[in-house]
Structure 1
């Protein structure tokens, strides 16, 4: 029995050392690539599509899926900076038409490590090319509209399950103004994002 316990203890210790070394090696690299994706919820309603089966779907300024890629730069032991470019979209479609709100965010974020797994931070988000597009039957529900470029603020926390994967919970504040008009829509939203580091 003691032999089994010693073997398990040694295996456990070896596992912790390997994991710790992997974390250290990943953390020591000055630059790492990032690929990420996530779901976002919130913002104001831009349009609502009604379906023939009685269902409906709203397009919101804070929805729904975001993809991004970029790099992370290590500035000392505890501080990192991330720079990413992405695509953020909320859309709905049927056989007779579609509605889509899309935009292209650039983000510059700083993080401070609380411990080996948890990081807190935030930064700025510049959104360009935001537009609401509709086709087919969607054109009678929502007009085609372009929005001015805008800047938002990001606050987030990340839990790193491994050196290669982290899960982020974030809150974003931003506004969208229709080009050539004073019409403004709140785009504030929350997001749950997965980061893959390489």
Structure 2
């Protein structure tokens, strides 16, 4: 909670400074597909196949603000990350609330590079009636994009009762700025 408060204060300060410096403030929504991470669990199907539930894998739907003064920008966003299994005989869901703070630099012709911090709040894995809760985790992310499309790398770990799982991912992102 303390980290949320600090991030809120920093974002409020940045927005006030942005207004004084002719920065534009624009709403952002996006969807990020993330691939990778250590296996958290394995689902075994009746046909003999299996599926690993990876720590980082999932779809992240997010919203936030973009503070821009060309060629620089800062984006703050909060998302809901979800992944599941194709199993029909059990309920499986992995969720987290990623907060991202990203600095970007516009290269030219719509291309940009960026990097920043990510904090995954409340990561958990629910399998039927069992829920495994992991500690909130701080990491970093990098991105390279053109217009509304970007690819990136997110590095973060999930800890549960002394066990550490790499939740790092390769990311494909689609983002709309209004």
Counterpart among 86, 91, 100 of residue 98 in structure 1? 91
Q: Does 1:197 align with 2:170?
A: no
Q: Indicate the residue corresponding to 1:147 in structure 2.
A: 134
Moved more, 188-197 or 48-57: 48-57
Q: Indicate the residue corresponding to 1:3 in structure 2.
A: none
Q: How far did 1:54 drift?
A: 3.3
Distance in 2, Cα, partners of 1:91 & 1:78 = 39
Spell out the pairing of 1:1-198 with structure 2 (5 A cutoff): 30-74=24-68, 76-135=69-128, 143-160=130-147, 166-178=148-160, 181-198=161-178
TM-score computed with the length of structure 1 as normaliser? 0.75
The RMSD of aligned alpha carbons is: 1.6
The number of residue pairs the alignment matches comes to 157
Distance in 1, Cα, partners of 2:119 & 2:32 = 18
Structure 1 stretches of 4+ moved >6 Å: none
TM-score computed with the length of structure 2 as normaliser? 0.83
Distance in 1, Cα, partners of 2:136 & 2:73 = 27
Q: How far did 1:93 drift?
A: 4.3
**Residues 59 and 100 in structure 1, CA contact (< 8 A), matched pair in contact too:** no
Q: How far did 1:29 drift?
A: 7.1
Structure with bigger strand share is 2
Structure with bigger helix share is 1
Distance in 2, Cα, partners of 1:107 & 1:69 = 10
